[in-house]
């Protein structure tokens, strides 16, 4: 399983000085033992365009966060958001996947994020 997150950053003016950008993944629930059975959760900066395509599941991107346990704090993603704006991008996009896709025991090991509470907060001038 791979999760994809896409944040609209088109409202940030191109001339804006981005002071800080933080990602909040603290609102989730866990089924089974994903960190114990599937390894670390990789959060990667990827660009897949306006819509997902089947080939996008293979995107590797740049690692912005490697979690060995469920997230407990905010993650500073300022540099990544600044880079996307410098490139003229209108979206900041991430993929989330564990080291292993399955451990083969037929028991669900999953972290489920509350999509209404996953936020990217950007402060700029």
pLDDT value, residue 78: 96
Q: Which two tokens stand for residue 18?
A: 């981005």
Residue-wise pLDDT for 43-87, tens only, equals 999 988 778 888 788 887 888 889 999 988 899 999 999 999 999
Q: What is the pTM of this model?
A: 0.88
Give the Cα separation of 108 and 18 in Å (integer): 40
Q: What counts of helices (H) and strands (E) characterise the chain?
A: 2, 9
Give the Cα separation of 106 and 116 in Å (integer): 29
């Amino acid at each position: 399983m791979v999760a994809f997150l896409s944040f609209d950053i088109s409202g940030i003016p191109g001339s804006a000085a981005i002071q800080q950008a933080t990602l909040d993944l603290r609102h989730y629930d866990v089924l089974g033992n994903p960190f114990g059975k599937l390894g670390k959760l990789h959060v990667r900066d990827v660009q897949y365009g306006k819509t997902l395509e089947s080939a996008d599941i293979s995107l590797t991107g740049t690692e912005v966060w490697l979690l060995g346990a469920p997230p407990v704090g905010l993650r500073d993603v300022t540099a990544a958001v600044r880079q996307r704006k410098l490139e003229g991008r209108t979206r900041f996009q991430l993929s989330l996947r564990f080291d292993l896709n399955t451990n083969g025991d037929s028991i669900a090991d999953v972290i489920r994020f509350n999509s209404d509470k996953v936020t990217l907060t950007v402060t700029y001038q």
